[in-house]
Structure 1
Amino acid sequence: MMKKIKDFIQIQLRQRLLSVNVWYLNKFFGTHIDATARISLKAKIDKRNGDGIYIDEGTYVAFGVAILAHDMCRHLKADVRIGKNCHIGCNSLILPGVTIGDSCIVAAGAVVTKDVPPNTLVAGNPAVVKKEGIQLNRLGILPKESC
């Protein structure tokens, strides 16, 4: 019984921290992240060009992900847009100027250098489309029969 209570409290605290993280990024760095998006505390969001980052509702960004909206070498600032209900896998890198369509999955460790069409799964370095026309369930998870 105590373990269930402890687990419940941990989940609630984690959810509160994630929503505070989104509020903090929007308020102080000008990002455009929907309140229902879940951004890991260990994700790296570009704060130098925060105004160029758009993350829509229901999107999950895992730990170690880096989302960049500027390139210091080329003196480039370009918007990054991530659509609704996307899943960005851990340690992925999203480069400036990339648009990721709705209901996409970016595999762990992928380096996204070009736009990603909606309902696709991308993986690799550089990221390439591995599967098109994927349908995520209501929780934003790829059902086993779709694999």
Structure 2
Amino acid sequence: MTSAPALPSRSTTLQQKWQRLIQTRLWQMDIHRSAWIAPTALIDRTWPKGIHIAAGCVIDHQAVVLTHDMTRGVYLDTRIGEGTRIGARTIIMPGVTIGANCIIEPGSVVNRDVPDGSHMMGNPAKPVAA
């Protein structure tokens, strides 16, 4: 398995700092300090204690990370592993665990667990052929 490529340093805006403070202190989400989350990313607030984002993760613009599905009455923990990159407009469904050092291409829909070091894309997300 290949590891995720080194990502350029991303600056954090005041809005992102404020959002992180509210997410971790008020809503009690488990988000590591080194994770970078775009200000337009949607992190589920319906069941915020189900969010677990590890160190070095990047969640790009308008990505959606869910922990609930009200149509089925489901509230599950969603985990994103260390060093994983979630592309823009990706949707992570509730209860999914994404391993460490994964790359999820923009616009993907992840509805199953993803093993460490995977490169996924599509709807539903499937491994990218090497």
Give the TM-score, by structure 1 length.
0.78
Alignment-derived partner of residue 113 in structure 1: 111
Q: Which moved more, 1:15-24 or 1:92-101?
A: 15-24
| Distance apart, 1:13 and its partner CA | 7.3
| Partners of 1:63 and 1:35 in 2: CA distance | 18
Specify the code of the residue in structure 2 equivalent to 1:27: R
Alignment-derived partner of residue 37 in structure 2: 39
| Distance apart, 1:19 and its partner CA | 3.1
Specify the code of the residue in structure 2 equivalent to 1:44: L
Summarize the alignment of residues 1-147 of structure 1 with structure 2, pairs less than 5 Å apart: 14-131=12-129
Cα distance 1:102–1:13, how it changes in 2: closer, same or farther (>3 A)? closer
| Partners of 1:120 and 1:25 in 2: CA distance | 28
| Partners of 2:96 and 2:11 in 1: CA distance | 32
Specify the code of the residue in structure 1 equivalent to 2:96: V
Provide runs of 4+ in structure 1 moved above 4 Å.
none
| Partners of 2:65 and 2:10 in 1: CA distance | 26
Contact 1:43 1:63 in 2 (8 A): yes
| Gapped regions of structure 2 (runs ≥ 5) | 1-8
Aligned-residue CA RMSD (Å): 1.9
| Partners of 1:22 and 1:78 in 2: CA distance | 21
| Distance apart, 1:20 and its partner CA | 3.0
Bigger helix fraction: 1
- Report percent identity of matched pairs: 33
| Distance apart, 1:85 and its partner CA | 0.5
Cα distance 1:12–1:54, how it changes in 2: closer, same or farther (>3 A)? closer
Give the TM-score, by structure 2 length.
0.87
Cα distance 1:12–1:91, how it changes in 2: closer, same or farther (>3 A)? closer
Please say which structure displays the higher CA radius of gyration.
1
**Is the partner of 1:41 in helix, strand or coil?**
coil
Structure 1 residues 82-129: Cα deviation after superposition (integer angstroms, max 9, x where no partner)? 000110000000000100000000000000000000001000000001
Whose relative contact order is higher, 1 or 2, with alpha carbons under 8 Å and at least 6 apart? 2
Contact 1:107 1:121 in 2 (8 A): yes
